[in-house]
């Protein structure tokens, strides 16, 4: 686990901002915002969407960035609006998703020692890898 840089703190602000703008528990269940930063400095964000199935905010943010031609992302964070803008650790599905798209990516998580960042590979030990 590593301490956050100013840039990573700004990424938390981006995720907080997108969920503040779009929070809607009652009608659309938008409760989590995510922001992902690319090595070129570009930041993309998204909120969770749900119907019969749900897509996490991290997946929406990454999909937004990939749709804009981005490929090389370095850090991602998700913020839940219900708990005072708390950092949410990615779910198991998102961890696998991040690992497959960006094995060198950092993820901002909340730990017993506060908000830190970790490499995605540390969050998915013994990960599944697609056969070649």
Restricted to residues 13-52, the positions that interact with Zn ion (CB under 5 A) are none
Interaction of residue 60 with Zn ion, rule CB under 5 A: no
Among 58, 70, 110, 132, the active-site one is 58
Is the CA virtual torsion 36, 125, 50, 27 positive or negative? negative
Respond yes or no: is residue 17 known to be catalytic.
no
Q: How many residues bind Zn ion (CB under 5 A)?
A: 3
Q: Which of 28, 55, 91, 115 binds Zn ion (CB under 5 A)?
A: 91
The nearer residue to Zn ion, 5 or 122, going by C-beta atoms, is: 122
Q: Residue 24, SS3?
A: strand
Q: At what angle do helices 92-101 and 57-67 cross, to 10 degrees?
A: 20
The nearer residue to Zn ion, 94 or 120, going by C-beta atoms, is: 94
Q: CB under 5 A: which stretch of 11-19, 55-63, 68-76, 105-113 binds Zn ion?
A: 55-63
Q: CB under 5 A: which stretch of 10-18, 24-32, 87-95, 101-109 binds Zn ion?
A: 87-95
Own/partner long-range contacts of 42-51 (Cβ < 8 Å, ≥24 apart): 42/68, 42/70, 43/10, 43/11, 43/14, 44/68, 44/70, 45/14, 45/15, 45/17, 45/18, 46/18, 47/18, 47/19, 47/22
Q: How far is the CB of 68 from Zn ion (least distance, A)?
A: 21
Interaction of residue 94 with Zn ion, rule CB under 5 A: yes
Catalytic residue positions? 58
């Amino acid at each position: 686990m590593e301490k956050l840089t100013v840039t990573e703190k700004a990424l938390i602000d981006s995720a907080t901002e997108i969920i503040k703008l779009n929070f809607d528990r009652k009608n659309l269940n938008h409760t989590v915002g995510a922001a992902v930063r690319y090595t070129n400095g570009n930041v993309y964000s998204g909120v969770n969407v749900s119907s019969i199935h749900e897509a996490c905010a991290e997946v929406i943010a990454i999909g937004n960035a990939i749709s804009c031609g981005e490929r090389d992302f370095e850090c991602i964070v998700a913020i839940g609006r219900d708990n005072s803008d708390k950092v949410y650790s990615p779910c198991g599905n998102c961890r696998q998703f991040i690992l497959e798209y960006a094995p060198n990516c950092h993820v901002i998580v909340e730990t017993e020692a506060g908000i830190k960042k970790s490499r995605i590979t540390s969050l998915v030990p013994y990960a599944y890898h697609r056969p070649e």
